[in-house]
Chain A
Amino acid sequence: MKSASFDYIRPDTLDAVCACLASHPDARIIAGGQSLVPMLAMRLARPSLVIDIAHIDGLSAIRDDDSAVVIGAMVRQAKALSDPLVAKHLPLLAKALTHVGHPPTRARGTVGGSLVHADPSAEIPLVAVTLGASLRMRDAGEDVEFHAEEFFIGPMLTMTPPTACLFEICFAKPTCAYVGTGFHEVAARRSDYALAAAAAHIEADDAGVVQDLRLAIGGISDFPQRLPIDIHIDLSAGMADLGTSLTTAIDAALDDVDIVEDMHASASYRRRVAAELARRAVDDALREIAQDLS
C-alpha cells in the first residue's frame, strides 16, 4: 500500500500555495494529512504535487477577534480541544472534538483539513454548519469567504475554488446571555465515523427565552445540514416541557433530507437515530441553559 509518486513542496506564503495550485491543477494541499495520506496510500488520491502548508506563518494560531474566535487552518484538533478560547466561546466545538478520531490522530489532524476534506460524517463540518462558521480562503491574491452552510455540496465535495487555500475559520461568539449546546453521535465503535450525528447550539436571553436555536445533523446524508426548528421556548421557569412539538419539528425537517445507506446502517436506521440524537442534542442544550438560569 504505497502512494503513487508525487512531488512535494513546502511554500512559506499563501500566494505561493495558490500559484502551485494554478500550475498543477491536480495538486493537493496537505495540512495534518490524517485523511489525505491514507487516500494516497490506497491510491484513491493521485496528485502530481503535494503542497505542505505547515510552514506558512500564522495558520496555527487561535485568536480572539472581538465578536468571533478565529481558528487558523493548521490548528491541530488536539490544540483546539485544549484551547481556552474554544472552551469559553465555542463549547459545541469543544464537545465535538472529543469525538474526532483518537488522541494520536487529533495530535496531527487539523480543524481546517477536516473542513475541506468534507467527509459527510465528520464532526467538525457538522459544527461549522451548526454555528454558521465562515471559511476564509486565499485565491488569486484575494481573500474569499464561504459560509459553512453553502460550502458543503456533496461527499468530499465543497465549493473550494480550484486554486484556493483555506487559511482560517471564523466562528462568531454567542451574543445572548445564556448558551447551551448538545452533541451526540452514534458509530459502530466509539471513534468510528458517525452513522448519525446531531449538534445543537441554543442561545437564550436574560429572561430565559430562546432567541436562537441551531440544530444540524451529520452522517446521514451527503453533507451536514441544518434542521430548521421554529418553536418558542421559554426556560424562565426551568426546563421546558416541549411535548411532541420538537419531535414533530425534527421529523418534518428530516423529510427534506436525502438519507444514505450502506452496509453499516440502513437509511431507516439513520433517520430514526438522527431524529433521536437531534432531540437529545436540543435537550442537552436546553438543560444547560435551564441549569445556568436556576
Chain B
Amino acid sequence: MNITIDINGKDVTAAIEPRVTLLDFVRDVAGLKGTHAGCEHGVCGACTVLLDGEAVRSCLILAAQAEGSQITTIEAVDGTTRQPGELSIIQDAFCESHGLQCGYCTPGMVLAAKTLLQHNPTPSREQVRDAISGNICRCTGYVQIIDAIMLAAERLQGRNQPADGA
C-alpha cells in the first residue's frame, strides 16, 4: 500500500506492506537511524518518537496507522531551528550530567524528557522518574538521567545557565 507520513515536517511517501511498523518506516524508509529498535514488543522504549507531540512507542504502531499524524524523531527534537552540531537545551543537559553511556536508549529518553517538560516545566524528581519509567536504560541506573532532566528543566526556565553560554 502507498503511505505518506509527515516525519519531521517532511512528507515521506513509500509503497510498503501493511505489516511495516512505524519504527521500521522511520529507520528503513525515511532513513532516520536515531530511532532504535530495542525489543520490538513495546516494553523498552528505545523506539520512542513523538506523534502529534506526544511520546509513543514506534514499534507498537503500524506505519499505516500513523498516516495523517505528525511524527518527530530525535533528529528534529528541537524543531528545525538548530544547525547540525548544535544541541538543544535538553540534549546539552544530558551531556552536562553524563545522563547516558552507550547512547542506545538516549534518543528515547530525550524525547520522553521533552514530552514531560512540555506538560510540566517544573517537575519533581519523582515526576521525572515516572515520566521515564517506560524507557529502560541498562547503563546508568537512571540517576544521571534524572539529574539531566532536572537540569534541563531549570535551564528551560532560564535558571542555572551554563557559564559559557554553550
Contacts and interface: CB of A to CB of B under 8 A. Distances in A.
B84 to A, nearest CB: 27
B40 A105 contact: no
Contacts of B59: 37, 41
B114 interface: no
A102 B133 contact: yes
Give the interface centre of A3, A37, A38, A107 by most chain B CB atoms within 10 Å.
A37
Contacts of B115: 103
B156 interface: no
Give the interface centre of B1, B18, B65 by most chain A CB atoms within 10 Å.
B65
Interface string B41-64: 110010010010011110111101
Given A10-B64, A33-B61, A37-B42, A102 B134 contact: yes
A42 B55 CA distance: 23
A108 B133 contact: no
Nearest to A101: B134
B131 interface: yes
Nearest to B60: A37
Given A4-B19, A54-B65, A105 B134 contact: yes
Interface string A33-44: 110011011100
A104 B61 contact: no
Contacts of A108: 51, 56-57, 60-61
Nearest to A4: B19
A104 B40 contact: no
Contacts of A50: 18, 62
A108 B130 CA distance: 18
B72 interface: no
A105 B59 CA distance: 11
Contacts of A8: 1, 18, 62, 64
Contact of B42 (A2, A52, A103, A105): A105
A1 interface: yes
Given A34-B42, A38-B42, A104-B55, A190 B62 contact: no
Nearest to B21: A37
Contact of A3 (B19, B65, B131): B19
Given A41-B40, A104-B57, A7 B18 contact: yes
A191 interface: yes
B19 to A, nearest CB: 4
Majority secondary structure, A binding face: loop
Give the interface centre of A5, A50, A52, A108 by most chain B CB atoms within 10 Å.
A108
Interface residues of A, number: 30
A226 B57 CA distance: 34
Given A107-B51, A107-B54, A37 B61 contact: yes
Given A1-B41, A4-B19, A52 B64 contact: yes
A30 interface: yes
Contact of A78 (B19, B54, B112): B54
Contacts of A103: 54-55, 112, 115, 130-131, 134
Contacts of B130: 103
A52 B62 CA distance: 10
A133 B102 CA distance: 47
A206 to B, nearest CB: 38
A142 to B, nearest CB: 28
Given A6-B19, A101-B134, A103-B134, A42 B41 contact: yes
25 contacts: A3-B19, A4-B19, A5-B18, A6-B19, A8-B18, A8-B64, A30-B65, A33-B65, A34-B42, A38-B42, A41-B21, A41-B59, A42-B41, A52-B62, A52-B64, A52-B65, A102-B133, A103-B130, A104-B45, A104-B57, A104-B112, A105-B42, A105-B134, A107-B51, A107-B55
